Chain A
Amino acid sequence: MSAATLYGLCAALLAALGLYGFVVQPHPLRKIVAFNVFGGGVFVVFGVAARRGAAAGFAADPVPHAMVITGIVVAFVSTALAVALLLRLHAETGRASLRLDEPGADERGDGA
């Protein structure tokens, strides 16, 4: 097995782990962390494709690298925005939950 294949299989696991955490973990901050784990796995799949594209004296295809760099920065911006939204939600309601008001709960909600 080549190193690129090894990292490719590892990336598949990372993406699945991140996706699982994103679905299962109830706390929004845990979802944000899990989504970043997922993103890391997806980027590595791209990096493996770049490594396999080594040619013409380059150890890897440089174009996917440039796109992953752009992707990492955009992922940071999204994370910062998500965290800011979550902190505002927490400041407004005292809770950090994505759940709508519990069934049978008071009409005005129980968050305030």
Chain B
Amino acid sequence: MSAGFVLDAVVAALLVAVATGAIAARTAFAAVVAFVAYGLVLALAWVRLAAVDVALTEAAVGALTGVLLLAAAARLRPSEAAAESELPSAGLRAAAALLCAVVAAGLAAVVLAAAEPAPTLAPLAAQQLPATDLGNPVTAALLAWRAIDTLLEKVVLLAGLLGVWSLAPDRLWGGRPGAALRARGAALRAPRDGALGLLARLLPPIGIVVGVYLVWTAADHPGGAFQGSTILAAMWVLARMAGFVDAPAVSDRRLRAALVAGPLAFFAVGLLGFAWADGFLAYPDGWAKPLIVAIEVPMTISVAATLALLLAGPPARGPESRG
């Protein structure tokens, strides 16, 4: 048994343990803490599965999900006691466990009885990669071969944000998300001290460099616009939690422009494909790399803004509190 397999066995056992914690913990807060650990161990599993790009995404997005869920768990703590009385009866729980065991057995059978040789698009990817001028096949899949998926996913991001915003009461529409900074107006002069204030001063310069690097390097190495923009969004969230910056009003025109810049650039490049190449989202020979950069830069800004605002939630203060 090789050392690598022992490591894999430990990672797999840890995954099951923290997933059990996330399901069976007594309080929602403890469940969310276990879920954050689950995201981190899952990122390790992705590295072991030779999926470094996915591991970066899981680690970065997992951190944002953790912040989102922790904040919700704190707000919803008073409602937990009432929910306990709604726990299904032991018989129903046993039936659910049995059916879930059937699902697990079915998935395990699929894994164990997988086709030989395994179906794969890797040879096709290797053959087509030179035409994109990229070195990272995952980036090529995201932005060239399966670009339509990525474009639609950006639209889903915006649709999700619109859904969150639409939960604001009418009188707050156009306002700013989140609670007011402790002393409005004085916030920028007196930001929070302590560990949070220190981290919010130290980390963003590093995080911004790492985020931009991940976007730039994705052409040839693991990284990408999602991963980079997730880190950029996390830096803004950190600065906001420490009280250095306030969330923008959702009616802000510059904010709206930043949100749609990425999808619009993507769509424009896609339409150019009709004139220059074979059709929607096709790149002319030799132009793939510059066009992909032209999509990725506005996309990074849009995705970072969308993710950060998804975390901030619907407008919670009316437009009159602007300024």
Contact = CB atoms under 8 A, between A and B. Distances in A.
Contact of A10 (B15, B61, B75, B87): B15
B186 interface: no
Given A30-B28, A47-B54, A90-B79, A8 B101 contact: no
Nearest to A92: B169
Interface stretch (B202-210, B246-254, B307-315): B307-315
Interface residues of B, number: 95
B118 interface: yes
B167 A84 contact: yes
A86 B107 CA distance: 31
B108 A8 contact: yes
Nearest to A8: B111
- In terms of DSSP, what is the predominant structure of the interface of chain A? helix
A84 B54 contact: no
Interface of B: 4-5, 8-9, 12, 15-16, 19-20, 22-24, 28, 31-32, 35, 38-39, 42, 45-46, 48-51, 53-54, 57-58, 61, 64-65, 68-69, 72-73, 75-76, 79-80, 82-84, 86-88, 92-93, 96-97, 100-101, 103-108, 110-112, 114, 118-123, 125-127, 137-138, 140-142, 145-146, 149-150, 153, 156-157, 160-161, 163-164, 167, 224, 226, 307, 310-311, 313-314
Interface of A: 3-21, 23-27, 29-30, 32-34, 36-37, 40-41, 43-45, 47-63, 65-70, 72-81, 83-88, 90, 94-97, 99
14 contacts: A16-B104, A18-B19, A19-B103, A24-B87, A26-B84, A27-B76, A33-B22, A36-B65, A37-B35, A53-B121, A67-B149, A80-B310, A84-B163, A97-B82
